[in-house]
Amino acid sequence: MPREYESTSLRDLLCGSISEAHVGQRLNVCGWVAKRREHGEHLAFLDIRDRSGVVQAVVEGSVDVKSEYVVRVTGTVTPRPEGTVNVKLSTGAVELSDCEVEVLSLAEVPPFQLDDRVEIDEQVRLRYRYLDIRRDEMQSNLRLRARVNTALRRAMDAQGFCEVETPLLWAPTPEGAREFVVPSRLNPGEFYVLPQSPQIAKQLLMVGGFDRYYQIARCLRDEDLRADRQFEFTQLDIEASFVSQDDVMGFVSEAVLDAAEVATGVRPGEIERMTWAHALDHYGTDKPDLRFAMTLQDLSSAFAATDVKAFSAPTVKALRVEGGASFSRSRLDELTEQAKGLGAKGLAWFRVTADGLDSPLARYLSGEETAAIAGVDGAANGDLILVVADEYELACHVLGAIRVTLGSPPVGEGPYRYVWVTEFPMFEGVDEDGHLQAAHHPFTMPHPEDLGLIETEPLKVRSQAYDLVLNGWELGSGSVRIHRADIQSRIFRALGISDDVAEVRFGFLLGAFRYGAPPHAGFAFGIDRLVAIFAGEDNIREVIAFPKTQSGADLMTGAPKSITERQLRDLRVRIDPKGK
């Protein structure tokens, strides 16, 4: 970094950029005392740390500083004496000598050691997050995140996208998650909703003629938290007019590949594509982890006329586990429990041995069935074949999950395998009222070849929705949108949303569409997830400055908290004491 950016009224250089080039200069640095070592009574070595790294300051005479004091040190850059050079440190060839130390701020003893090599309880880290983020690892994760954001912005700008900010106080959005609700003081009894995404706003921007919009947008969903989910998360949100699905996938690919290059130093090749049906059939999931093979194999035809009750089902799927014959009985029991937990009736296993299949079920199989199992692609002595017989999607999902359990490396471990998953179904299952559910959201355009099936065979309707997946994590989703009122009403009707309800919930959007809606499409992907993977972290909390715990608490601020009676009164909100 050029010197002029580093120097301020208090300092000349950042600690980490001092080098042999500065030998002989008398300089000021500012930072925290990372370490203090005494050498006899009258010589102290201080490691001074700032955001760029650490430099050693040698202080003669007594100096009253402790760990994490904030200091300003004036010293002369001097080569370290022979034998004391520290090659692990960028500044390890030099030190500041003849130092004067000015204490800018005192510090209490921190509740944990600010050292990446020390394992610290996460609760403590989150409670003192301002100290935790002084650590190198958090500094580097958050700075990586900033570089990724810059790369994304640059890529979108270069492709002619215009950044527009959309409101946080908004009306319900159609993603289908539970929403955070904000009471209106000026309109008692009425509420805003924090947006689950800028979905409707960005579609309105298309009606408004923006043509290409993007935003690094905060989205809020009141859902249970997990390793890859927080209440609030950040998306690169985009929408464009007069485009096809391929165009949008092109824009997003460009941005993601640029970010990948900035983060990892390597620009990945073109992102491959796979249909949803293929992903389900071969990987048992809509977010396939392509870092390893272990694809599912279909044995349904060999078992079509089976006498074995356990295999009498529409679909029989198999998964070959290389070398898995050595799994213990308890390991096999665990896998069986996992399969049952996912809804399967059971999990059959077969060890491939020189003497044939070894399994409690082996003797019940016909010759053809034995041959089918022993003949799954690649099967060799020492392998294990796992089999699930059930309805098609269930059999795929169960074996897909077991595939991930047995094969997936940690998500942030390379290589990075991106894949576009296309042709998602339009609807997935039905809700409690028997209404079809939108697989993406109700504004998604059906596949043009399937428009005729909406009323007759809705579950067969494919949509023009697409996901981007990286190492088995869904990075984001998007779709071509419906811009024609007739198709929109047919979809609303299929979803059980009456014209009246549609008018109340989305009337402003449908109204806007009456004034000339261009064909449009868009996408949004999670920046937290992308950065976590690049940072080699499997929990997005590690790339968020101030995250919440699994139970939704902010351990540092204490939020969520009660508010005063006065505030409640202003909002005309009353707490039901029995409601807890």
List all residues 6 or more positions away from 487 whose beta carbon is below 8 Å from its beta carbon: 445, 446, 451
Residue 572: DSSP 8-state: T
Please say which residue, 22 or 441, places its beta carbon nearer to ligand ASP: 441
Near ligand ASP by CB under 6 A: residue from 241, 422, 471, 479: 479
Residue 199 lies near ligand ASP (rule: CB under 6 A): yes
* Residue span binding ligand ASP (CB under 6 A) among the ranges 57-65, 138-146, 403-411, 472-480: 472-480
Residue 197 lies near ligand ASP (rule: CB under 6 A): yes
* Residue span binding ligand ASP (CB under 6 A) among the ranges 290-298, 370-378, 394-402, 473-481: 473-481
Residue 200 lies near ligand ASP (rule: CB under 6 A): no
Give Cα 164 to chain centroid, integer Å: 23
In this structure, is the dihedral angle defined by the CA atoms of residues 203, 204, 205 and 208, taken in order, positive or negative?
positive
Query: H or E element: which one contains 157?
Result: helix 136-158
| Subset of residues 145 to 164 that bind ligand ASP, contact rule: CB under 6 A | none
* Residue span binding ligand ASP (CB under 6 A) among the ranges 107-115, 162-170, 309-317, 518-526: 518-526
How far apart (Å, rounded) are the C-alpha atoms in residues 198 and 163? 13
* Residue span binding ligand ASP (CB under 6 A) among the ranges 53-61, 84-92, 425-433, 475-483: 475-483
Nearest to 406 by CA among 395, 416, 414, 398: 398
Identify the residue whose tokens are 């007069």: 242
Site string for ligand ASP, 408-447 (x = CB under 6 A): ----------------------------------------
| Subset of residues 313 to 352 that bind ligand ASP, contact rule: CB under 6 A | none
Near ligand ASP by CB under 6 A: residue from 101, 524, 531, 540: 524
How far apart (Å, rounded) are the C-alpha atoms in residues 113 and 109? 9
* Residue span binding ligand ASP (CB under 6 A) among the ranges 159-167, 403-411, 517-525, 565-573: 517-525
How far apart (Å, rounded) are the C-alpha atoms in residues 123 and 113? 15
Nearest to 443 by CA among 205, 174, 178: 174
How far apart (Å, rounded) are the C-alpha atoms in residues 475 and 116? 28
- Taking the complex as a whole, how short is the minimal distance between the CB of residue 273 and ligand ASP, in angstroms? 18
- Taking the complex as a whole, how short is the minimal distance between the CB of residue 349 and ligand ASP, in angstroms? 38
How far apart (Å, rounded) are the C-alpha atoms in residues 320 and 557? 50
Please say which residue, 424 or 523, places its beta carbon nearer to ligand ASP: 523
* Residue span binding ligand ASP (CB under 6 A) among the ranges 342-350, 393-401, 474-482, 549-557: 474-482
Please say which residue, 398 or 445, places its beta carbon nearer to ligand ASP: 445
Check if the beta carbon of residue 20 is closer than 8 Å to that of residue 90. no
Phi, psi torsion values for 476, nearest 5 degrees: 180, 175
Please say which residue, 316 or 521, places its beta carbon nearer to ligand ASP: 521
How far apart (Å, rounded) are the C-alpha atoms in residues 29 and 96? 10
Please say which residue, 15 or 524, places its beta carbon nearer to ligand ASP: 524
Check if the beta carbon of residue 149 is closer than 8 Å to that of residue 527. yes
- Taking the complex as a whole, how short is the minimal distance between the CB of residue 479 and ligand ASP, in angstroms? 5
Q: Per-residue b/e over 184-219, b at no fewer than 16 CB within 10 Å?
A: eeeeeeeebbbbbbbbbbbbbbbbeebbbbbbebeb
Check if the beta carbon of residue 426 is closer than 8 Å to that of residue 479. no
Q: Which residue is nearest to ligand ASP (CB)?
A: 197
Near ligand ASP by CB under 6 A: residue from 372, 523, 527, 540: 523
- The length of the chain in residues reads 580
Residue 161: DSSP 8-state: -
Give Cα 557 to chain centroid, integer Å: 24
Rg (CA), the chain: 30
| Subset of residues 297 to 316 that bind ligand ASP, contact rule: CB under 6 A | none
- Taking the complex as a whole, how short is the minimal distance between the CB of residue 249 and ligand ASP, in angstroms? 12
| Subset of residues 164 to 183 that bind ligand ASP, contact rule: CB under 6 A | 175
* Residue span binding ligand ASP (CB under 6 A) among the ranges 18-26, 108-116, 410-418, 522-530: 522-530
Check if the beta carbon of residue 147 is closer than 8 Å to that of residue 262. yes
Nearest to 192 by CA among 219, 175, 167, 224: 167
- Taking the complex as a whole, how short is the minimal distance between the CB of residue 200 and ligand ASP, in angstroms? 9
* Residue span binding ligand ASP (CB under 6 A) among the ranges 58-66, 118-126, 477-485, 538-546: 477-485
- Taking the complex as a whole, how short is the minimal distance between the CB of residue 95 and ligand ASP, in angstroms? 52
Residues at the site binding ligand ASP, with contacts judged by CB under 6 A: 175, 197, 199, 477-479, 522-524
